[in-house]
């Protein structure tokens, strides 16, 4: 049901009248008046979610979904008990935080239903008397957003750059200048390792995403003209690996569900706090298993050490001693792993992968610790497994030497 196109009111009227000619078939029509909602609910993302809800409720009754040119949804389906229609209406109303009123042909409620042999004339009268949409100030902008074309050569080049860059590139899509200033001040101390990009609306946000392919996107839900949910849908359709965190002024269970359904990794409730932004930056870094180094263009792959731990270590007068002790212990374990492969002594493998996991935990190197735990579960280790762990620890040592 989600893959539908807009139709003029005359097209929809023709479909309804044609179906009505068969007097032997009873059916229902459900009218979801999305056009009556606030602008933030009228975009493609909300239409898609609504279609999904209706599909799950009515899929057994051959639903045919039509999208009016004013964004209203009209669903025609086989005759069903009223309880099933009540359920569908309730589910839709919950999405938009409206009272789930159960009405027959009421123009005031979000959802109205009609019978093929009872009150269908009310709907036909409505669609005949509804004026064609007049262009709104944001219509040309909305059309440009909906028809946004990706320059593949530019996008592919930016994708390659993301894979090889030695810093985090973060895009904030936020329309309020005050909020953008707060964000800039909040993370200005990380400018050596992070590049911050701003876009004040969804269309510019898409354009900057195409040109930069950022590592992380912080996206405001309440953007003007097109909502953050619509922008989220465009971005996740373009890039399945997109890491998008939603910014919202009000925490709502339903809005969170919509965000997650469209691919968001999380959300932050305004006003912004540095710890919340840092939280998702750390989540991204752990997910992608690398840590960026201050004042260095080199990216240390496959190992993350908690930045707070590095900061503490930098200030420790005995840091060189601590690093050497750590690497001596790690080197001894790595040598034992090699012996376990050469001698097929798998108890030695289990013992030393466990020890390496503990060493990683001491550094707060969560990704490395997870790798060691995974290796610990291997019952028949091979040389390639030794090489993997050795490579991880070599990267950690390279990182520590730069502290």
Every domain of the chain and the residues it spans: 6-129, 160-288, 307-401
Rounded (10°) angle between helices 177-186 and 274-288: 70
d(CA 338, CA 203): 55
Task: Report whether 145 contacts 202 (CB < 8 A).
Answer: yes
Q: Which residues contact 124 (CB under 8 A, 6 or more apart)?
A: 13, 16, 17
pTM for the full predicted model: 0.44
Q: How many CA atoms are closer than 13 Å to the CA of 385, on its beta-carbon side?
A: 23
Dihedral angle sign, alpha carbons of residues 126, 128, 130, 133: positive
Cα–Cα nearest to 4, from 38, 40, 25, 34? 34
- The confidence score (pLDDT) of residue 286 equals 64
The CATH number of 6-129 is which of 3.40.190, 3.30.590, 1.10.490, 3.30.70?
3.30.70
- The third-level CATH classification (topology) of the domain covering 160-288 is Rossmann fold (3.40.50)
Reading the chain (403 residues) residue by residue, the pLDDT tens digits are 334 556 667 777 777 877 777 767 788 888 888 877 766 565 566 677 787 778 778 877 878 777 777 778 888 888 888 888 888 888 888 777 665 544 444 445 788 888 877 778 888 887 777 654 444 455 466 777 777 888 888 888 888 888 777 778 999 999 888 778 777 777 766 556 788 889 988 888 998 999 899 999 999 988 877 888 889 999 999 998 899 999 887 666 677 778 888 889 888 887 777 788 888 887 787 666 433 333 333 333 333 565 656 656 666 666 777 777 788 888 999 999 999 998 988 889 999 998 888 888 777 777 778 888 888 888 888 887 888 788 778 777 777 776 6
pLDDT of amino acid 339? 92
Q: Where are the alpha helices (DSSP H) in 165-263?
A: 177-186, 202-212, 228-238, 253-261
Q: How far is CA 255 from the centre of its chain?
A: 13
CA distance 334 to 393: 9
Could you give the CA distance from residue 156 to residue 161 in angstroms, rounded to a whole number? 9
Q: CA torsion 155→158→159→161, rounded to 10°?
A: 170
CB 126 within 8 A of CB 70: no
Q: Are strands 290-292 and 299-301 parallel, antiparallel or unpaired?
A: antiparallel
Give the whole-angstrom CA distance, residue 396 versus residue 360: 9
Answer for the pair 376, 347: CB distance below 8 angstroms, yes or no: no
Beta-ladder partners of 214: none
Q: Are strands 168-173 and 64-68 parallel, antiparallel or unpaired?
A: unpaired
Record: fold of 307-401? 1.20.120
Whether 265 contacts 283, CB under 8 Å = yes
Q: Give the distance, in angstroms, between the CA of residue 271 and the centroid of all CA atoms in the same chain.
A: 20
- If you write DSSP's letter for every residue of 248-292 in order, what string do you get? ESS--HHHHHHHHHTT--EEEESSP-HHHHHHHHHHHHHHHTEEE
Q: How many residues are present in the chain? A: 403
Asked if the bond preceding 271 is cis, omega within 30° of 0, the reply is: yes
Nearest to 25 by CA among 73, 95, 79: 79
């Amino acid at each position: 049901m989600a893959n539908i196109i807009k139709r003029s009111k005359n097209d929809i009227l023709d479909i309804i009248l044609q179906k009505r000619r068969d007097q032997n078939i009873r059916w229902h029509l459900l009218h979801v008046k999305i056009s009556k909602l606030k602008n933030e609910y009228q975009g493609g993302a909300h239409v898609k979610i609504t279609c999904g809800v209706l599909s799950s409720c009515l899929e057994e009754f051959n639903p045919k979904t039509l999208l009016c040119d004013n964004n209203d949804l009209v669903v025609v389906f086989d005759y069903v008990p009223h309880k099933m229609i009540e359920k569908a209406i309730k589910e839709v109303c919950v999405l938009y935080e409206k009272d789930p009123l159960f009405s027959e042909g009421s123009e005031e409620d979000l959802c109205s239903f009609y019978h093929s042999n009872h009150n269908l004339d009310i709907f036909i009268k409505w669609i005949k008397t509804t004026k064609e949409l007049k262009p709104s100030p944001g219509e040309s902008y909305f059309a440009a957003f909906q028809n946004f074309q990706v320059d593949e050569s530019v996008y592919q080049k930016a994708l390659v750059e993301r894979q090889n860059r030695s810093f985090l590139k973060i895009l904030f899509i936020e329309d309020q200048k005050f909020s953008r200033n707060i964000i800039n001040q909040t993370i200005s101390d990380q400018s050596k390792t992070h590049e911050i990009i701003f876009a004040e609306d969804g269309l510019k946000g898409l354009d900057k995403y195409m040109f930069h392919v950022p590592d992380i996107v912080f996206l405001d839900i309440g953007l003007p003209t097109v909502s953050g949910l619509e922008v989220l849908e465009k971005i996740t359709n373009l890039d399945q690996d997109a890491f998008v965190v939603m910014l919202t002024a009000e925490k709502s269970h339903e809005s969170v569900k919509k965000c997650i359904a469209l691919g968001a990794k999380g959300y932050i409730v305004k006003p912004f706090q540095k710890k919340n932004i840092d939280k998702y930056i750390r989540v991204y870094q752990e997910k992608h298993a690398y840590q960026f180094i201050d004042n260095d263009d080199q990216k240390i792959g496959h190992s993350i050490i908690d930045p707070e731990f590095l900061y503490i270590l930098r200030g420790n007068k005995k840091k060189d001693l601590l690093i050497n002790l750590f690497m001596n212990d790690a080197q001894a374990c790595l040598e034992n792993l090699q012996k376990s492969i050469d001698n097929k002594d798998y108890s030695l493998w289990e013992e030393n992968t466990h020890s390496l996991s503990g060493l990683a935990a001491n550094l707060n190197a969560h990704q490395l610790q997870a790798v060691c735990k995974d290796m610990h579960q291997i019952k028949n280790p091979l040389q390639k497994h030794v090489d993997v762990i050795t490579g991880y620890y070599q990267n950690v040592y390279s990182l520590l030497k730069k502290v």
